[in-house]
Chains A and B, each alone.
Chain A
Amino acid sequence: QKEVEQDPGPLSVPEGAIVSLNCTYSNSAFQYFMWYRQYSRKGPELLMYTYSSGNKEDGRFTAQVDKSSKYISLFIRDSQPSDSATYLCAMSQYNTDKLIFGTGTRLQVFP
């Protein structure tokens, strides 16, 4: 079993839809959770960074962490064609810099 599981998609939604992206993990020692966006095989860019259970909002993006269920989510409201990209979740343990990535979910938002 992989430490981090993420549905590869692709996920295709119309413009304006609410998108839900999810990852599950098996290692209860993970403390820090991140979402990255990657365009066309460019370098991933950090979208959201959280370290506790609950919700964190930034503009149209909301990151949710449920440590009891070992489940994290990224919600995108009012999705735009420019949101079309691959979204990768990542997580790490306390006092270590090693990031474990999901395989990424490819999202396509069509006009």
Chain B
Amino acid sequence: DSGVTQTPKHLITATGQRVTLRCSPRSGDLSVYWYQQSLDQGLQFLIHYYNGEERAKGNILERFSAQQFPDLHSELNLSSLELGDSALYFCASSVAGEAFFGQGTRLTVV
């Protein structure tokens, strides 16, 4: 158990809908990262938050947004969903450069 909690584990939704994925980092970790893993691609970095502030953005679509709350949990919002958004979404928290991943949310867009 990495100590990083993601909910829900599975999500099935229709195209055009909006969903929210939630991540609770390990106790004491201030950084939260979001990654997308599609079937035919590796882990793609989406966004990084540190202590409530956005630190870095990767290949994150404009339809996607994220935030980190004062209690350090983070949410990834995906809107106007398309079939191609179906993927595993991981969050990770880190200390001293070592990242620890949650078990992921499997999103299926139908």
Contacts and interface: CB of A to CB of B under 8 A. Distances in A.
Contact of A97 (B31, B44, B106): B31
Interface string A46-62: 10010100000000000
B89 to A, nearest CB: 11
Contact of A42 (B42, B100, B104): B104
Contacts of B94: 97
A101 B42 contact: yes
Nearest to B55: A97
B73 to A, nearest CB: 17
B97 A92 contact: yes
B4 interface: yes
Contact of A98 (B45, B90, B106): B45
Given A97-B33, A99-B33, A49 B98 contact: yes
Contacts of A103: 41-42
B100 A46 contact: yes
B88 interface: yes
Interface residues of A, number: 24
Interface string A88-104: 10101000111111111
A46 B98 contact: yes
Given A32-B97, A34-B98, A43 B43 contact: no
Interface string A13-49: 0000000000000000000101010000111111001
A97 B104 contact: no
A100 B50 CA distance: 18
A98 B56 contact: yes
Given A34-B98, A97-B33, A99-B99, A41 B104 contact: yes
B103 interface: yes
Interface of B: 2, 4, 31, 33, 35, 37, 41-45, 48, 50, 55-56, 58, 88, 90, 94, 97-104, 106
Closest A-B pairs by Cβ, 6 of them:
A103-B42, A43-B101, A101-B43, A43-B103, A98-B56, A44-B101
